[in-house]
Amino acid sequence: MSVPAGSESMRQSTRARHDELLALIRSGTTRVEDLAEALAISESTVRRDLARLGAEGLVTRTYGGASPESSFHERALAERMRVQMPAKVAIGRRAAELVPDDGTVFVDAGSTTGQLAEHLRGRSGLTVLTRGLEVALLLAGSPGLDVVVIGGSVTTKSHGLVGPLTTVALERFMVDVAFLGVDAVDPLDGVGEATALEAQVKEVAARRARRTVVLADSTKLDRGAVPAWAPLPAGWTLVTDGQDEEVLRRYRDAGVVVETVEAEQQPTVDG
């Protein structure tokens, strides 16, 4: 679907303004009034932008302004499903094109991988391994799929399974493609997660896969303060809606195959 030139221009303008806001906040300018004056925009626009940046986890709202997000807070799955959804839908759709006609795939827990699972319903000839309870329930009604839930302990935030049972079960399989969700991603360090247990599962899944595909919206391309990291095998693939060429070049220079998608944008109104 093509995007009208006016909508594209507005989106780029909003993104540029958000980048300027973040730079100001990180440099110490945190009050709404000061931010509005520095950017020559209305205070209502600043508040609206801060609300959006807060929803994306990039700033923490404070009384009268905002502060940079300096510590990592893992979101519950229900909250993740309300954030960056146009991007996640587009990423899931593109990832589905990388699923083989038959064979075995691993689908991680999470909101973005859940969008991939939506596109697997009705498929046949696939074995789908998953540690995500929602993914398993979504695909359970597809008679052409063999859905295997990797056992373990259920995490409260992502409803993903972790622990010794999970890694032992994964070691028994070799998968054609492992599709991983992330809290953050880095071209050199791999994928970042809230806990070492989550990171360990992703590392094992990637090691047991012939191809590893990471699904990450643009907000995940900043490593932030995510504490636990899992390395990935050389030549892994990143599917993202990120459009910043300077950021994406770091991945390509590290040998990562980058697949970019265009998220269907929701209309915005600037004050």
State pLDDT tens for residues 155-178. Answer: 887 789 999 999 999 999 999 999
Q: Is the pLDDT of residue 96 over 90?
A: yes
Q: Would you say residue 267 lies in a domain?
A: no
- For residue 120, count CB atoms less than 10 angstroms from its CB and return exposed for 0-12, middle for 13-18, buried for 19 or more: buried
**pLDDT at res. 144:** 95
Domain span including residue 42:
5-68
Rounded to 10 deg, the angle between the 111-118 and 85-96 helix axes is 50
Return mean pLDDT, the chain. 86
Sole residue written with tokens 């709202």: 61
**23 and 87 share one domain:** no
Task: Please count the structural domains in the chain.
Answer: 2
**202 and 219 share one domain:** yes
State pLDDT tens for residues 220-235. Answer: 997 766 888 999 999 9
Q: What confidence category does residue 13 fall into, taking pLDDT thresholds of 50, 70 and 90?
A: confident
**pLDDT at res. 5:** 54
**pLDDT at res. 79:** 46
Question: 199 in helix, strand or coil?
Answer: helix
**pLDDT at res. 14:** 85
State pLDDT tens for residues 198-216. Answer: 999 999 999 999 999 999 9
**35 and 107 share one domain:** no
State pLDDT tens for residues 19-77. Answer: 888 888 877 787 889 899 999 999 999 989 888 887 666 776 666 777 665 444 444 44
What sections of 130-177 are H helices per DSSP? 133-139, 164-171
**216 and 254 share one domain:** yes
Q: What is the identity of the amino acid at 114?
A: G
**120 and 248 share one domain:** yes
Q: Would you say residue 268 lies in a domain?
A: no
Sole residue written with tokens 């209309």: 267
How far, CA to CA in Å, does 187 sit from each of 176, 180, 198, 260?
22, 14, 19, 15
**pLDDT at res. 27:** 75
Pick the closest to residue 262 from 1, 6, 56, 14 (CA basis). Answer: 1
**113 and 171 share one domain:** yes
pTM for the predicted model, two decimal places: 0.71
Distance CA 153, CA 151 (A): 7
**88 and 64 share one domain:** no
Q: Is the pLDDT of residue 265 over 80?
A: no
Rounded to 10 deg, the angle between the 43-55 and 5-26 helix axes is 80
Distance CA 207, CA 211 (A): 9
